[in-house]
Amino acid sequence: MSNKENKQDISPVFKKCYAFNDANEAKQAGLYPFFKPIQRNSGTKVYIDGRELMMAGSNNYLGLANDIRLKEAAESVVEQYGTSCSGSRFMNGTLDLHEQLEVELAEFVGKEAALCYTTGYQTNLGAISAVLDKGDHVISDKYNHASIMDAIFLTTGMKRNITLHRYKHNNMEELERILKRIPKNTGKLIVTDGVFSMEGDLAELVKMRELADTYKAGIYLDEAHALGVVGKTGRGTCEHYGDNSLADLLMCTFSKSFGSIGGFISGSAEIIDYIKHTSRPLIFSASMPPANIAAARKALEIIKEEPERVHRLQEIAKKMISGFKSIGFNVGTAVTPIVPLIIGNNEKTFLFWKSLYERGIYVNPVISPGVPPKRSLIRTSFMSIHKDDELDWFLEVAEQEGKKLGII
Ligand SMILES: Cc1ncc(COP(=O)(O)O)c(C=O)c1O
């Protein structure tokens, strides 16, 4: 008899699942914003429940996920390579396409070598768990992405005796205090997002490099929201600060500016070779499929050839940050097209999400653990293909609905 037929006989391990009712309660209150099936994606519009909404909550920063050139590139390789690699990079799943993309990526970010994974999440798991070893210390910004934390948890479970330190967001004094306490000649890795995924601000990378050099630490930089977004030619946080040596290891995902899925880690040839031969999430999981490699390669070509997309995105970021500020929203320290509307109250956050949704605007409500408790926010994010009239309309609606709820 299955558990469903006789719930008295449920194994204790599953009891919590049957008792879980949070999602149903939110659905009944009409305040459930998650897993909304998108029926069609077209430029800045999405279609959900048969309604057209303006997308202001996507990571498709350069609008390339719908670009005809990426679609054609994806289609063009299926005939020759099929739809799956059916194996890991280590064994039967490496294509010449992976290696070509890796050479192009290394050149783009100014590193000696790059290595592709199947997702950005897996890249963090795979690269961080490979470089850290017993006795090492990892020092992480409190606002780092969940995949970085999961990478550290995985490493701790696998290798034991890894010490985790977390410093207050972008607080370089606290980072220095931590570095000072760690014994000399001990492995130390500082890990940070370049652009923080929820707050849209930048890591203090110049000071961080200075500290890393003083205390002989390495820097691991997650550029998921930075490549294609910041820097004069979209080469990310290091380009923004004008110094390509700020990070020892640099990762990025293809699921955002690159309009595809997958990720890569880049660095010196020796470190990348070591990761390639020791990274369990690389060795024990099937590789990135051909169509996605082709789409990412085409996106990289477009980013290099059309820097005007990056410039337009940066112009939109400035417009929306100053627009939201001028109508009274708290946007924290955002300087990118990720603009948080910080509310700090879960109920109001969901109510504000609902009112924007009903007015035809798609955004993402974020509560703990996505952000620290009491920092719930609406994450707005913009694309280079947004038009000024759409953006002005969003600001108008946000002002009206924000005032009704007493948020501004
Ligand atoms: C900062 C950061 N790193 C890594 C990832 C994981 O990338 P992916 O979704 O491509 O697996 C994300 C995804 O949201 C992210 O925001």
**DSSP states of 337-356 as a string?**
SEEEEE---HHHHHHHHHHH
Helix (H) / strand (E) element for 322: namely helix 307-326
Domain boundaries, the chain: 22-55+307-404, 66-305
Q: For residue 1, is pLDDT > 50? A: no
Does the beta carbon of 263 sit less than 6 angstroms from any atom of ligand 1? yes
Reported residue count of the chain is: 408
CA 239 to CA 233: how far, in whole Å? 8
Residue 251's DSSP bridge partners are 222, 265
* Ligand 1 pocket, residue 255 CB under 6 Å: yes
Which tens digit of pLDDT belongs to each residue from 222-244?
A: 999 999 999 999 999 999 999 99
For residue 8, the model assigns a pLDDT of 73
197 close to ligand 1 (CB < 6 Angstrom): yes
pLDDT more than 70, % of the chain: 99
- Going from the Cα of 264 to the center of ligand 1, the distance in angstroms, rounded, reads 11
Provide the residue type at 53 as one letter: L
Strands 263-267 and 38-42, by their bridges, are: unpaired
Q: How many CA atoms lie within 13 A of 219 on its CB side?
A: 27
C-alpha 310 to ligand 1 mean position (Å) = 20
Model confidence pLDDT, tens digit, residues 35-94 = 999 999 999 999 999 999 999 999 999 999 999 999 999 999 999 999 999 999 999 999
Architecture of domain 66-305: 3-Layer(aba) Sandwich (3.40)
78 and 67 in contact (C-beta within 8 Å)?
no
pLDDT beyond 90 at 253: yes
- CA of residue 269 to ligand 1 center, whole Å: 24
223 lines ligand 1 (CB under 6 A): no
| pLDDT per residue as tens digits for the range 358-368 | 999 999 999 99
Go through 312-331 and write b for each residue having 16 or more CB atoms within 10 A of its CB, e for each that does not.
Answer: bbbebbebbbebbeeeebeb
Nearest C-alpha to atom 3 of ligand 1 is from which residue? 224
Q: pLDDT averaged over the chain?
A: 96
Mutate to test the pocket of ligand 1, among 147, 152, 338 (most ligand atoms within 8 A of CB): 147
Q: Is 121 in the pocket of ligand 1 (CB under 6 A)?
A: yes
Helix, strand, or coil (residue 51): strand
Counting from 1 in the atom list of ligand 1, the atom nearest the Cα of 193 is 1
Q: What span, in angstroms and rounded, lies between the C-alpha atoms of 397 and 380?
A: 13
- The separation between the first and the last C-alpha atoms of the chain, rounded to the nearest angstrom, is 55
Mean pLDDT for 172-196 is 98
- Give the predicted TM-score (pTM) of the model: 0.97
Q: Both tokens of residue 34?
A: 């998650």
User: DSSP state, 70?
Assistant: H
Whether 339 and 57 have beta carbons less than 8 Å apart is answered as: no
Report CA 399 to chain centroid distance, whole Å: 28
Please identify which residue in the block is written with the tokens 């408790």: 373
- So what CATH class is 22-55+307-404? alpha beta
Output the CA 255–ligand 1 centroid distance in Å: 8
Return the pLDDT at 4. 54
For residues 309 and 9, the model is more confident at 309
Distance CA 380, CA 359 (A): 15
Residue 99: which residues within 8 A CB-CB, separation 6 or more?
A: none
